[in-house]
Chain A
Amino acid sequence: MKFRTIGYYFKQAFKSMRRNFWMSVAAVSTVAIAAFLVGIFALLVTNVNFMATKLESDIEVVAFVEVDVPRSEVLQLEEQIRSLPGIASVTLVPKEQGLEQMYARYGRDRDLLGALGGDNPLPDYFVVKAREPDRVGRIAGQLAQIPQIYKVDYGQQEVERLFQVLGWVRWAGSALILLLVGAAVFLIATTVRLTVFARRRELQIMKLVGASDWFIRWPFFLEGFFLGAFGAALACLALYFGYFSLLDQVTTNISFLALVTDRAAVYEILWKLLAGGAAVGALGSIISMRRFLKV
């Protein structure tokens, strides 16, 4: 392909966009809206995912040892737990430390604890962290099987509820995306079809004088590509400014809400949107050309 020819393709593509200006505006808007919604959804999922992961990795499994287990056996137990697969850390909190913590917590009312009369009724317990969030459940199960351990605690329900929400968001979002992408493809196909129709005489003559199929196709292909890419670019701009200003608001006002602040992660989503928009545009034009190019 010659450089001159490439120039010709681009010139033709932009010319026909100018000629069908309002139709092009409609197609660009559709892609922009679709990409914007897809982007919001992608950011939402990424954030919920991020929160869930963070929550999960924060989760500690607390395993309480039977009160009457002697210290030496507790220490052996610590080794045993440490040897389980997927364990990041094991911290033994002996009953003495537990009592201290309790004293500290009760503050001025610590006299109440005098009622214990010097006995320490608290159990030793282990704080276990998993190396990966999805191992938490399994580790909790394994700990519960150890006979000297009478109770295992972790934030199971919270995590499961979050994942349930995530699954639902994903499902609804996917349906929405499919619908929007379909609409965008359809509109671009219609726009390009109008162009093809307006230029059918020219195409006929091109075929007549021996233009190759791809020579005829390229301008339309580029037209669809640019309509898609341009729409997606608009959406990306809106998402970029929208998301980061939202982030500013949230981090100053609702600081406990953990949002994705990593710019690279956000850029990746925007890049994918841009590529997706261009692909949708190209797909639309291919669809409309397939029927019309049998001159």
Chain B
Amino acid sequence: MIQFVNVSKIYNNKVVALRDINIKIEKGEFVFLIGSSGAGKSTFVRLIFKEEEPSRGQILIANRSINRLKKKDVSILRRNIGVVFQDYSLLNDRSVYDNVAFALEVMEYPGKIIRQRVPEVLEMVGLAGKADCLPTQLSGGEQQRAAIARAIVNGPQILLADEPTGNLDPDTAWGIMEILNDINRRGTTVIMATHAVDIVNKMRKRLIALERGEVVRDEERGVYKDEV
């Protein structure tokens, strides 16, 4: 599904974010990406949806290199990848419903499908009763659910989550993890960058640990170790 082949990313100011990464993630996997701040987790995530370009190496998605995609194909790629951030990235001037519908509008879905899909997704993330609220009227956990709803509303193959529980208390974080797990069980590949030791240790999913831009561990059903 997703493959990194000798991928390095060096930012303009000579900071090496990733060094010679070789990783293969299969369709339907749930992967934790761990490592301290600056280890390269965010860069890893951003390379997949082409927010950043690799300095060296190839990134393959569904066996096709995304290195030299045309602008038009980049937007098509992004339609197949849902992204969730730590800061939710919701538009505060419109309701939860409109935030989720916005994604479909941008992808030029017909109104009938939008009116059908948005309530379904809000139901799934447990926000059915909050459709008309503004993001600012929601708690952090609810905002993140709204962001997840927006990311998955068009049924992408891949869901990327960059520290989605970073701003949430443990209980709320678990609620989010249940939703992500649920999405993964429905067949979506989920890649989540995180610091949350608790979550990683309890979920026992594939774990890729980054340190100074290099993969130091890649284990099935991995657990956080103290040294990371």
Contact = CB atoms under 8 A, between A and B. Distances in A.
Nearest to B85: A208
B108 interface: yes
B102 A212 contact: no
Nearest to A211: B106
A202 B98 CA distance: 12
B71 A209 contact: no
Contact residues on B (Cβ < 8 Å of other chain), bracket: 20 to 34
A170 interface: no
Q: Is the interface of A mostly helix, strand, loop or mixed?
A: helix
Contact of A210 (B75, B89, B91, B110): B75
B91 A212 contact: no
Contacts of B91: 201-202, 205
A209 B151 CA distance: 7
Q: Is the interface of B mostly helix, strand, loop or mixed?
A: helix
B75 A211 contact: yes
Nearest to B153: A209
Nearest to A208: B83
Contact of B71 (A5, A204, A205, A213): A213
A201 B90 CA distance: 9
B83 A210 contact: no
B132 interface: no
B69 interface: no
A204 B154 CA distance: 18
A206 B108 CA distance: 12
B110 A2 contact: yes
B78 A209 contact: yes
Contacts of A8: 105
19 contacts: A2-B108, A4-B110, A4-B111, A8-B105, A205-B89, A205-B91, A205-B102, A207-B75, A208-B83, A208-B89, A209-B78, A209-B102, A209-B106, A209-B150, A210-B80, A210-B106, A211-B107, A212-B75, A213-B72
Interface of B: 49, 51, 71-72, 75-80, 83, 89, 91, 102-103, 105-108, 110-111, 150-151, 154
Interface of A: 2, 4-5, 8, 201-202, 204-213, 215
